Structure 1
Amino acid sequence: MVRWGEMVEEEEDDEYAKLVRRMNPPRVVIDNDSCGNATVIRVDRVNKHGILLEAVQVLVDLNLVITKAYISSDGNWFMHVFNVTDQDGSKLHNREVIDHIQKCLESDGYLVPPANGYALPEDQFTSIELTGADRPGLLSEVCAVLATLSCNIVKAEVWTHDGRTAAVIQVTDEATGRAVHDAGRLSRVQELLRDVMRGDGTCNRGGTGISAERRLHTLMLDSVGGGGAEEAGGGRDESGGCGVARPKVVVMDCAERRYTVVILRCRDRPKLLFDTLCALADLQYVVFHGTVDAEGASKDKEAYQEYYIRHVDGHPVRSDAERARLVRCLEAAVERRASNGLELEVWTEDRVGLLSEITRVFRENSLSIIRAAITTRDGKAEDTFYVSDAYGNPVDGRTMDAVGEQLGHAVLRVKRGGHDAPVKHEAEGGAVSVLGSLLKSSFQGLRLIRSYS
């Protein structure tokens, strides 16, 4: 069964479990009256593994901000309460959005895609997954290969962290505007990309249907193969690199109830709850109870998350090594999406090879891409990049002037704090500090997903 954002094989339920679900349909209440500064969403339904993460994904896919959450499950039943606002901090009043949330959360598996999201029909693109070690200019090389093979990049998400990188790229055939179906051509794409990666890759011919962000968390964890920087921490200092405060994660025992208690404190940001739940799910932990609080008066408010968890085998954390791995993976999940680096937006008419040209200009000016989100909508390219120099340092003004001249100031916007700024002035002010260890080495893994059909 395909769910929005996740491909899940339907488990064989016994007849009693099916009867329980039929007799206890989901109940969703969306309330704008009980809280003064947020819309309260209450979800009561029969429990099922992974249902909490799916509920949160429904909300974050709509770009809603979760300011508080209460999580509780008792046997086969759970109750979740979310306090949410829109991006402006206001309650939800759009009837279409409210009806969409109600429909999604009351469905069996949250099948409905986001109401205001943008996604290509799944038979119109081919998905490519890349994982491995990072190096400056790598995305430029990947884009150049795809452009040479007449593959147009219509959507992509790229993350880097601790010298590792993962990307989910959707491409179409330049000639047809649809997915690439020819097996020989797909093999050629894989062969050339493996050359770019400078190492052996893997090929997966099965489509996933999972959202790119959800998949990226899994790829970043899988790419280290049970060790390496993502889990071991590599002896990094408490700042998390370049003065960026590292999340504070505490893992304790609750022997009386046979739970492991996880407490996370860090600077709040969009999709933080989704990212931490992805990490717990990828590590095969189940959240039984939890509290999330991200409200605060200051601009740089702190988020507090507390979870009572067990492994899927029913046991709490049982060793110091498992405890250390849990802490490191939660830290990494928070840090991957942190907006470190100078934020650049490129808006222009889309054309085949455009992304290859943009990333080539970045490479020639010694800019390294920390994170990227590529979108094509109605013939327009809407791309966002977070960049540093090749050593992970802030970008200087002269470099940004050169990039602006080559790309055109009309299509390049430099942003800070969510506001546009002139290229020269923003760059001279200095970019936000970035993790210096992000941008080294090279990709090692490649997964090519067959065309959706």
Structure 2
Amino acid sequence: MASRDRHPHLNQVDSANRKGILLEMVQVLTDLDLIISKSYISSDGGWFMDVFHVTDEAGKKLADEKLLLHIQQELCATRSKGEICGDRELGNWKGAEEQHAATATATATEKTALEMSGRDRAGLLSELSAVLVELGCSVTSVTAWTHNDRVACIIFLEEASEAGPISDPKRLAQVEEQLQNVVAAHSGTGERKSVRLTTLGAGRTHTERRLHQLMYANRDYENCHGEHKKGCDGTHVYVGRCEDKGYLVVNVTSMDRPKLLFDTVCVLTDMHYVVFHAAISSNRSIAHQEYFIRHSMDSSGLPSESEKQKLTLCLTAAIERRVSRGLRVDIGTENRMGLLSNVTRVFRENGLSISRVEIGREGKKAVGSFFVRDCSGEEEVNPNILELVRRETGGSLVTHHNSPHRVRQSSSSSASSIIHESKESIEAKPRSSLGRMLWSRLERLSAGFRPVRSG
């Protein structure tokens, strides 16, 4: 990897090509809270070349030399190690984690995680957290997404009496059975749902990557129609064919936001598509992505129309999942047993539903965000309810109106303001292919690259 001192910061990766390397690189940059404003990708043949234009969260140039060195080290390490945290096949993901937990050091850092997916309903998180309190389990962090009436969440647990994972198999079976009863209580016959407790290695499990897998397995994409129904947030996907090269050409236009590239590459990986070339850019608050892809498991030729339609729906769903509708409520308070249960109970008893949650521990404090709305879907919340939440937490409480069409600015525009752009304004813009820009840029860059074997 080479770096150039310019605005935005340019990261170039040159490596032997292998399965999953693109997602690995994007995940590294995303986890460092960097904004990828542009990217040019080529992996046709036995080598991989990627160029990332990145800034910090405020859209400013990266000036910290220690951070730049850390980015270089992380990308080089990822290029060489041949694995990606949380990137497991759904069928054998647990087994892969267990294989990695062989050493005493790994055992000391293991965590017990509840993975749940199914149909969303009001009060579900409140009921799950209440049962965990009754069973003597303490919640250390929770991340939950909802989309198209489906929900997926990962809750990390430990015994309330002592820190550390729940190791007794009988104890694990008891907790899992009680949680399954909660989810099954309001589920229809044959409805897709999944509840399991598993032991995960700390630092080897990427929560958001896993949530994408759970939502995809739960088929949350089925109700996101290709006509871009109201609520699809201006996400437009077009899938065409490049007959002479045997590629599918995928064009995606959507509102720009952090982690957009990561979300898109996740679904392509889950659907077993290989990205051979790509170009990504943002124009103020609009992002354009173009991919040249093939299916890794289909040697018979280009996919059918039904498969193209599924790809369209899955890409739209992956982009929508992270869009947070509702009032954002940030909390910061002293962590204690039953805190999650108490807060979610207040929301449930006052007719508010939770659309997204990100809560964790920082030292002895519990910090994070809830996104809530009333039963009609509106984000206006009675201030008296928020006061009840503040009293319940005993800490700080900050609210933000979080319209799905308000996005963080990319590096190409002012970072001090928030832009609002309607879905109609996206639809009015012509879809411009990035292919010519991709090829010209890659042709110039390729002169400075050469294949490098990963160690």
TM tier relative to shorter chain: 0.7 to 0.9
Q: Does 1:59 align with 2:29?
A: yes
Q: Which amino acid aligns with 2:176?
A: Q
Q: How does 1:262-341 map to 2 (within 5 A)?
A: 262-296=250-284, 301-313=285-297, 315=299, 317-341=302-326
More divergent stretch after superposition (403-412 vs 286-295): 403-412
Higher fraction of helix: 2
Show CA shifts across 1:282-303 (max 9, x none).
111010000000242xxxx100
Q: Any conservation in 1 of the 2:276–2:292 contact (CA below 8 Å)?
A: yes
Structure 1 residue 397: Cα displacement? 3.2
Q: Does 1:414 align with 2:386?
A: no
Q: Does 1:346 align with 2:331?
A: yes
Q: Distance in 2 between matches of 1:184 and 1:275?
A: 37
Match of 1:109 among 81, 104, 111: 81
Q: Does 1:218 align with 2:213?
A: yes
Q: Distance in 2 between matches of 1:126 and 1:390?
A: 33
Match of 2:39 among 44, 48, 69: 69
Q: Distance in 2 between matches of 1:363 and 1:143?
A: 12
Q: Any conservation in 2 of the 1:345–1:384 contact (CA below 8 Å)?
A: yes
Match of 2:128 among 135, 142, 145: 142
Structure 1 residue 89: Cα displacement? 1.0
Report the 3-state secondary structure (helix = DSSP H, G, I; strand = E; otherwise coil) of the residue aligned with 1:323: helix
Change in Cα spacing, 1:165 to 1:202, as seen in structure 2 (3 Å) is: closer
Show CA shifts across 1:239-297 (max 9, x none).
432xx63300000000011000000000001100000000100111010000000242x
Q: Unaligned regions of 5+ residues in structure 2, if any?
A: 86-105, 188-192, 407-421, 423-455
Q: Any conservation in 1 of the 2:228–2:235 contact (CA below 8 Å)?
A: no
Structure 1 residue 314: Cα displacement? 5.2
Structure 1 residue 313: Cα displacement? 2.5
Match of 2:223 among 222, 227, 233: 233
Match of 2:170 among 172, 176, 184: 184
Q: Any conservation in 1 of the 2:8–2:53 contact (CA below 8 Å)?
A: yes
More divergent stretch after superposition (277-286 vs 392-401): 392-401
Change in Cα spacing, 1:211 to 1:72, as seen in structure 2 (3 Å) is: same
Number of residue equivalences: 373
Q: Does 1:258 align with 2:231?
A: no
Structure 1 residue 125: Cα displacement? 2.1
Report the 3-state secondary structure (helix = DSSP H, G, I; strand = E; otherwise coil) of the residue aligned with 2:174: helix
Q: Any conservation in 2 of the 1:70–1:290 contact (CA below 8 Å)?
A: yes
Query: What does residue 419 of structure 2 align with?
Result: none
Instruction: Provide the alpha-carbon RMSD of the alignment.
Output: 2.6
Show CA shifts across 1:20-52 (max 9, x none).
xxxxxxxx112223xxx3000000000011000
More divergent stretch after superposition (207-216 vs 138-147): 207-216
Q: How does 1:431-450 map to 2 (within 5 A)?
A: none
Calculate the TM-score normalised by the size of structure 1: 0.77
Report the 3-state secondary structure (helix = DSSP H, G, I; strand = E; otherwise coil) of the residue aligned with 1:126: strand
Q: Distance in 2 between matches of 1:122 and 1:340?
A: 38
Q: Any conservation in 2 of the 1:247–1:331 contact (CA below 8 Å)?
A: yes
Query: What does residue 445 of structure 1 align with?
Result: none
Q: Which amino acid aligns with 2:69?
A: D
Q: Unaligned regions of 5+ residues in structure 1, if any?
A: 1-27, 114-119, 225-229, 420-432, 434-453
Q: Distance in 2 between matches of 1:345 and 1:317?
A: 47
Calculate the TM-score normalised by the size of structure 2: 0.77
Show CA shifts across 1:366-412 (max 9, x none).
11111111110111101211111123222333454454564368521
Change in Cα spacing, 1:206 to 1:407, as seen in structure 2 (3 Å) is: closer
Q: Which amino acid aligns with 1:136?
A: A
Q: Distance in 1 between matches of 2:115 and 2:363?
A: 24
Q: Distance in 2 between matches of 1:356 and 1:247?
A: 35
Report the 3-state secondary structure (helix = DSSP H, G, I; strand = E; otherwise coil) of the residue aligned with 1:279: helix
Change in Cα spacing, 1:408 to 1:207, as seen in structure 2 (3 Å) is: closer
Q: Distance in 1 between matches of 2:257 and 2:392?
A: 30
Q: Distance in 2 between matches of 1:137 and 1:125?
A: 26
Q: How does 1:29-40 map to 2 (within 5 A)?
A: 29-33=2-6, 37-40=7-10
Percent identity between matched residues is: 39
Q: Which amino acid aligns with 1:274?
A: F
Q: Any conservation in 2 of the 1:375–1:382 contact (CA below 8 Å)?
A: yes
Structure 1 residue 110: Cα displacement? 7.2
Structure 1 residue 152: Cα displacement? 1.1
